[in-house]
Amino acid sequence: MTIPLLNRTAETDAPVLDVLADRWSPRAYASDDAIDESQLASALEAARWAPSANNIQPWRFIVAHRGTEAHDRVHEALLGFNKVWAGDAAVLIVAVAETADAEGKPLPFAAYDLGQSVAHLSVQAHHDGLHVHQMGGFDRDGVRAAFGLDDRFEPLTVIALGPIGDPSALPEALQEREAAPRVRRPLADSLIAV
Ligand SMILES: Cc1cc2nc3c(=O)[nH]c(=O)nc-3n(C[C@H](O)[C@H](O)[C@H](O)COP(=O)(O)O)c2cc1C
């Protein structure tokens, strides 16, 4: 049975940029389509130009194309159902926070800054017709070992990036997740009353 996709555009209570309303995180990626390298360059460039505390830019990216050993290594580290779907993505990117500088001084905004750079990447990618799905479900120590990361570098997410695929190719349970309505709690619940 194929489960129909509902409209994926967010129903926002106030107007937002189209790209923000339209961005969503699919699990169906086109397993035959390569990534357009200029679009990948633009996504990474958007990440590069994100703001960061003291402009330290405490982010690093391991960019692994499907069909390479690096992609296999990242895929191998994914946990649970992430392993089922994410291997089809044209590119898997490990988003790595530089949590301390080369002298060992902690960089307290590393995770914040990395997240912001990935947000920029995801918006640029969506604008260019690609899709992004971030994952926290992976074996951090496995990735650390697979790529020889120093202790001061912390892999925080794996990002599936590439052309979207046919959701009917997913296992049924994942099709249901793919088609579930996109929801957010009310904005008021995110505001601290003053
Ligand atoms: C830090 C982070 C970790 C996530 N981990 C996973 C994951 O391991 N597996 C997964 O399928 N989705 C994961 N997601 C995707 C979220 O579930 C998704 O962004 C959220 O449900 C909102 O859906 P939307 O991006 O389509 O708006 C993660 C997202 C973020 C930002």
Cβ neighbours around 119 below 10 Å, total: 17
Q: Are 40 and 63 in contact (CB under 8 A)?
A: yes
CA angle, residues 108, 122, 97, in degrees to nearest 5: 25
Report residues whose beta carbon is within 6 angstroms of any ligand 1 atom.
24-25, 82, 134-137, 157, 182
Alpha helices in the chain (DSSP H): 18-22, 37-48, 69-77, 82-85, 110-127, 140-146, 172-179
Who contacts 12 (Cβ-Cβ below 8 Å, separation ≥6)?
A: 21
Class of domain 33-180: alpha beta
Q: Which atom of ligand 1 is nearest to the CA of 156?
A: 1
pLDDT surpasses 90 at 5: no
Asked if the model's pLDDT at residue 3 lies above 80, the reply is no
What confidence score (pLDDT) does residue 42 get?
98
pLDDT for 1: 63
Q: Is the pLDDT of residue 85 over 80?
A: yes
**Dihedral, CA atoms, 109, 193, 23, 97, nearest 10 degrees?**
10
Mutate to test the pocket of ligand 1, among 135, 139, 161, 174 (most ligand atoms within 8 A of CB): 135
